[in-house]
Amino acid sequence: MRIISGTARGRRLLSPAKHTGNLPGQILIRPTADRAREALFNIIGPLVEDAAVLDLFAGTGALGLEALSRQARLAVFVDQQHQAVELIQRNVALCGFSTRARVIRRDLTKGLSFLVPYALTVNSCSRGHCKESSSAGLGEVRPDPGFSLVFIDPPYGKGLGILVLAALITAGLLAPQALAVVEDAARETLPDAVGTMRLADQRRYGDTGFWLYRFCSPAVTAG
């Protein structure tokens, strides 16, 4: 597993020793395949630069790290597993993105209120550095809050991606121009609308499916 393009191009990322968990309470860590990730970023490429990224069910952090490599302004990574959080932290350091990343261990099914300080402050960060503040966020509050690029990659086939996207919309955590990418098994059928977001594009690569949602109506297409 490696970074496909950008400032960290070719950097090999650490991945879990096993992609499946067999112990009680252990959850699957399933990195998005390089080929599928490359295809996705070929579609969303123009939207990545200077984006405020939220990578949920982040696993190894490969999606958010790819965005940072392609000049996203910052990324917040969230996963509930200790192993995943450690992997992300190490991969962030390997890529040299520590000043532009935050890694959080939380169970996303138990609420998203912890993300509010980050959503309020993401746009006060420059591409090179996020100013520290006394709050839990990334800097001073700005009038244009919200994440502009969101990756949601939960365990396949459980409907979690749509539930979390709906919660993000309800909580007002997304910027008006936001693009939300929900990953699930290619065989799944996801809705054409989630709250006030509409399905703008859908792609399948092998066993992996991507559903791209936006508040605005124009479809996201490859350049």
CATH number of this structure's domain 35-214, picked from the four choices 3.40.50.150, 1.20.1740.10, 3.30.70.1380, 3.40.50.1820? 3.40.50.150
pLDDT digits (tens, 9 = 90+) for 174-214: 999 999 999 999 999 999 999 999 999 999 999 999 999 99
Domain boundaries, the chain: 35-214
User: What's residue 99's pLDDT?
Assistant: 95
Q: Which residues of the chain have pLDDT under 50?
A: 19-25, 131-143, 217-223
User: What's residue 127's pLDDT?
Assistant: 52
Q: What is the pTM of this model?
A: 0.85
> What is the spatial distance between Cα 185 and Cα 16, in angstroms, rounded to a whole number?
20
How far from chain centre, in Å, is Cα 101? 12
Backbone φ, ψ for residue 35 (5° rounding): -65, -45
User: What's residue 30's pLDDT?
Assistant: 75
User: What's residue 138's pLDDT?
Assistant: 43
User: What's residue 23's pLDDT?
Assistant: 44
